[in-house]
Amino acid sequence: MAQADRRESMNDPARVAVTAAGVVSPLGFGLAETLESLQSARDCVSPVMRFSVTECRCKTAGQVSDARLLSSHAQVPRSGRLHRASHMMIEALQELLTQQPEFEPELAVVGTTSGGMSYGERYYRSLQRAGDLRHAATWIANYPAQKPVIDAQAAFGISAPCEVIANACASGTNAIGHAFECVRSGCYQRVLAGGYDAVSEMVFVGFDSLQASTPEKCRPFDQHRSGMVLGEGAAVLAMENLELARRRGAPVLAEIIGYGISTDNFHITQPEPSGSGPRQAMQRALESADISAADVDYINAHGTATLFNDTAEGRAISALFNRVPVSSTKSMMGHSLGAAGAIEAIVCLLALEHQFLPANINFSGLDDDLDLNIVANEARPAVVRTALSNSFGFGGTNASIVMRKFPPSPGLRRTGDA
């Protein structure tokens, strides 16, 4: 891009297009399988078999098939030495590049929480028990949080600089938001953004010991909710300067138009009860998008099904929005931590493209303290022009992004629209 054009784009914020996307999660491998699971409101949570859960209250999680992951990447050099998280990132990036093989990112921004945590477990357990350390080099090499991103890029000959955002459960949404700001500012034209996390025993047992996980079904916003279930997966989005993407004839799946963050610092694990932090993040996302709350047609809630989170988020949504349809798709696939915001951005993208509202399954009745329009148990067709996705994490870190159908529907305009 010419220097004069770059200066002009920095003075006039660029619009940001999503031109391709890839995902692997309990809902399926790829956009088509994910769409099918969403439209059929499929419960993709299953018993944990990877490690013993006999002493845990919770015995289920949303899981990705190891056999399918490994069989998909037999051609990747030394694939047997890679962490499961690397295989998930490779799978997601492969789908993205199948849609847009010419996409060459200038930067990769990826959110995660645990990195290769399960390899860290093996290493330190072996040290403690004076065990076999023959595989220690592999465990240590796969421990850094950037390793799955580097592995995925290397598998396809990409060498973009990598930024990892580890900001608790808001990591994936913050990664997309940061990538949005990078493109919007004119500093970058093409950014790869997303998130990943793999279920590990230490994290699973940690949430169980906090009694945050449920021995029953995951029931976000339900009056009988009793906790979350963990999930895993990876999702990536090709984010580009909209005008440049259109010039080269790239398809535009959706437009990201707003991003908001906040930190309320109320408690190390509990959200501020009034929902002031989530409300501020959503309000800032709307302001960033230059739209009003009335313009939002669907909210993909953070919705973990814990008592405190759902109450705080529900109050924040009610304070800003008037009966907008809300669902937490974590009810179908579990909470994939740092990957959650990226996977749920894909959910919003599919809702915009295929004009439906994803379901909040296992729902029997709304908590008496909440006033929300829950998309209960079944997906339903709807006019969805603008969607907002929430991710909130431990320590009061809150992030929201706003996505819009492209081309924009008549009657919904913002500053700078053609």
Residue 94 has φ and ψ, to the nearest 5°, of -60, -45
- As a whole number of angstroms, the distance between CA 350 and CA 379 comes to 12
Instruction: Name residue 380's beta-bridge partners.
Output: 357
135 is catalytic: no
Question: Is position 415 within any domain?
Answer: no
**Residue 66's domain is classified under what CATH number?**
3.40.47.10
Q: How far apart are CA 77 and CA 12, in angstroms?
A: 44
Q: With respect to residue 197, please indicate whether it lies within any of the assigned structural domains.
A: yes
Is residue 333 in some structural domain? Answer: yes
Catalytic residue flag (residue 169): yes
CA 182 – CA 184 distance, rounded (Å): 6
Helix (H) or strand (E) holding 276: helix 276-289
132 residue type, one letter: D
Respond yes or no: is residue 267 known to be catalytic.
Answer: no
CA R_g for the chain? 20
Within a domain: 164: yes
Instruction: List per-residue pLDDT tens for the chain, 418 residues long.
Output: 444 444 444 468 999 999 999 999 999 999 999 999 999 999 999 999 999 999 999 999 999 999 999 887 656 666 677 889 999 999 999 999 999 999 999 999 999 986 556 656 666 666 666 667 777 777 677 778 899 999 999 999 999 999 999 988 999 999 999 999 999 999 999 999 999 999 989 899 999 999 999 999 999 999 999 999 999 999 999 999 999 999 999 999 999 999 999 998 877 777 888 899 999 999 999 999 999 999 999 999 999 999 999 999 999 999 999 999 999 999 999 999 999 999 999 999 999 999 999 999 999 999 988 999 999 999 999 999 999 999 999 878 999 999 999 987 655 444 334 3
The one catalytic residue among 56, 162, 169, 218 = 169
Which of 73, 83, 178, 302 is the catalytic position? 302
Q: Spell out the alpha helix ranges (H) of 83-160.
A: 84-99, 117-128, 136-141, 147-155
pLDDT of residue 279: 97
How far apart are the C-alpha atoms of 418 and 400, rounded to whole Å? 25
Task: Give the pTM.
Answer: 0.92
| Residue 355 is assigned to a structural domain of this protein | yes
The answer to whether position 414 is within a domain reads no
Residue 418 lies in a domain: no
State the Cα–Cα distance between residues 153 and 160, nearest whole angstrom.
Answer: 8
Phi/psi for 268 (5° steps) reads: -65, -30
Minimal CA–CA distance to 233: which of 62, 105, 20, 405?
A: 62
Structural domain boundaries enclosing 300: 3-404
Q: Is residue 410 part of a domain?
A: no
Which residues are paired to 263 by β-bridges? Answer: 397
Pairing of strands 380-381, 397-404: unpaired
Q: In total, how many domains does the chain have?
A: 1
